Chains A and B, each alone.
Chain A
């Protein structure tokens, strides 16, 4: 979404007109869902977290600094929402429904059954690994490797100094490696 349009929409929302919030929700929903999915591990909880985060972001709009990009601010709210949900035990990181949701998508016609099985097994192993490494490690990996954020953006979302991002990523990747080795995954 163009910055100028985004600023204009945010201005209208700050004035209390919720109709102008819809384009913002639709623009940030795909990336938000990916982040929530990776933090919650299943579609149902991810959608609940995403919905709550959008509502909280709208309510907090008067405190949003005009001129700043909406994305990192919103992802910070979403990340906190996911953590709250995991902490209050309304949800826990679980991957069953996500796997079902993904399997429901149309199959790639190029890939044969053996290739698909291998890919599913690899994906399953990485999910299990992510489940084991804990949310602090998981969230930084998701923000970098799945969402492709720069270190400055990750620092803003996680509310940590920029210099800490590389160190946290190192420990997260090391933890994922150890988890995959424990799970008996070869080649990592």
Chain B
């Protein structure tokens, strides 16, 4: 019979989470109750089964640090790239607007540049719309 021993006490005893005095009282109850002995043996056996799963301590393919560091340092790379591109763009605009060239030629070059930018922006926008509704975006390819 399981007198004065709750299921939680049984777990705390099994997992070594009981203070010595409580543990002593539990062991007295354990000596009296065959049902408690049977339950303890059952849960101890289950605990051992889970512990015996022998999970590997490290991935066979090596550390995840390479993948983690790629994520951590990537934003810095993008930031440098963006700053560099913006600087070149500003310099290009400055040279283009201050260079002594024919206004019609200037207008033609500007039209080509604006056209390329608009097309690029529309492609990006379409891609983003597709991505938002793509039901297979979580499928690994």
Query: Which residues from chain A sit less than 8 Å from chain B, CB to CB?
Result: 18, 21-22, 25-26, 29-30, 33-34, 37-38, 43, 47, 50-51, 54-55, 58, 88-90, 101-102, 104-105, 119, 122-123, 126-127, 130, 141-142, 144-146, 150-151, 163, 166-167, 169-170, 173, 176-177, 180, 187-188
Q: Are B15 and A169 in contact (CB under 8 A)?
A: yes
Q: Are B51 and A29 in contact (CB under 8 A)?
A: no
Q: Which B residues are CB-close (under 8 A) to A144?
A: 15
Q: Are B65 and A170 in contact (CB under 8 A)?
A: no
**With the chains together, A62 CA to B63 CA distance in Å?**
25
Residue of A nearest to B65 (CB): A25
Selected from A18, A50, A123, the residue in CB contact (under 8 A) with B69 is A18
Q: Which B residues are CB-close (under 8 A) to A177?
A: 42, 46
Q: Are B53 and A30 in contact (CB under 8 A)?
A: no
Q: Are A50 and B64 in contact (CB under 8 A)?
A: yes
Selected from A43, A146, A167, the residue in CB contact (under 8 A) with B8 is A167
Q: Which A residues are CB-close (under 8 A) to B11?
A: 166-167, 169-170, 173
Q: Which B residues are CB-close (under 8 A) to A187?
A: 45
With A43-B59, A55-B72, A104-B60 as contacts: A176 and B53 at CB distance below 8 Å: no
With A18-B73, A33-B58, A55-B72 as contacts: A126 and B53 at CB distance below 8 Å: yes
Verify if B141 is at the interface (C-beta below 8 Å from A): no
Minimum distance in angstroms from A160 CB to a CB of chain B: 13
Residue of B nearest to A150 (CB): B17
With A58-B72, A146-B53, A188-B45 as contacts: A47 and B64 at CB distance below 8 Å: yes
Q: Are A123 and B52 in contact (CB under 8 A)?
A: yes
Q: Which B residues are CB-close (under 8 A) to A38?
A: 53, 55
Residue of A nearest to B43 (CB): A173
Q: Which B residues are CB-close (under 8 A) to A167?
A: 7-8, 11
Selected from A126, A127, A151, the residue in CB contact (under 8 A) with B15 is A151
Selected from B49, B56, B138, the residue in CB contact (under 8 A) with A126 is B49
Q: Are B64 and A89 in contact (CB under 8 A)?
A: no
Closest A-B pairs by Cβ, 8 of them: A166-B8, A145-B50, A166-B11, A30-B57, A18-B72, A170-B7, A54-B68, A34-B55
Selected from B7, B8, B59, the residue in CB contact (under 8 A) with A47 is B59
